[in-house]
Amino acid sequence: MLYTTVDSPIGTLLLQGDGHALRGLHMQGGRTAIRVRAEWERADEPFAHVEAQLAEYFEGRRTTFDVPLELAGSPFQRRVWEALQGIPYGETVSYGELARRVGAPSAARAVGVANRENPVAVIVPCHRVIGADGSLTGFGGGLERKRLLLELEAGVLSLTAAG
């Protein structure tokens, strides 16, 4: 497993992959922080395109990502993560709506669990899922980061690496 770290306006991001596909993007300041394992190899170059696209996103110049992903999870989790990628930039859906979109209308809680297990935050936009009442709920990176990402996408704010 290859990895690198990237400074961003929402803190340090740990990127993981195999040199071809991104397998993980973890916010190191939230619940999703993970430790680098001894067998992983630090390699910055294979992630240069991901870092560049993230920089454009945080500058408000990118609304979609073109990053090869390899997402390991159950078939249900992969359906949820695919549905997350279908939520347009600047829009939000409720957990219940996302459950309907994956064909499991009574499984809003299971969708929430799959959302929490999303291995590639930001690029697979789990931050775009909110409570049925419009409230910001559950986000591995913390609710303040979720709010910042949603405000960026709403055009309310432009984040920079110094931000």
- Note the pLDDT tens digit of each residue in 4-63: 999 999 999 999 999 999 999 999 876 667 899 999 999 999 999 999 999 999 999 999
Q: Are strands 22-27 and 129-130 parallel, antiparallel or unpaired?
A: unpaired
Flag whether pLDDT at 157 surpasses 80. Answer: no
Q: 75-129: per-residue pLDDT in tens?
A: 999 999 999 999 999 999 999 999 999 999 999 999 999 999 999 999 999 999 9
Domain(s) of CATH 1.10.10.10: residues in the chain = 75-153
The residues near 143 (Cβ < 8 Å, ≥ 6 apart) are 136, 137
- Give the separation between CA 71 and CA 37, rounded to whole angstroms: 19
CATH T-level assignment (fold) for domain 75-153: Arc Repressor Mutant, subunit A (1.10.10)
Query: Which own/partner contact pairs does 105-113 have at CB distance under 8 Å and 24+ positions apart?
Result: 110/76, 111/80, 112/138
- Give the separation between CA 62 and CA 43, rounded to whole angstroms: 25
Out of 2.40.160, 3.30.1390, 3.30.160, 3.40.50, which CATH number does the structure's domain 2-58 have?
3.30.160
Q: Which of 59, 58, 48 is nearest to 22 (CA)?
A: 48
Flag whether pLDDT at 163 surpasses 50. Answer: no
Give the per-residue pLDDT at 24.
96
Write out 35-61 in H/E/C secondary structure: CCCCCCEECCHHHHHHHHHHHHHHCCC
* The one catalytic residue among 15, 54, 126, 149: 126
- Give the separation between CA 163 and CA 149, rounded to whole angstroms: 12
Give the per-residue pLDDT at 134.
85
Q: Are strands 41-42 and 2-6 parallel, antiparallel or unpaired?
A: parallel
Annotation says 71 is catalytic: no
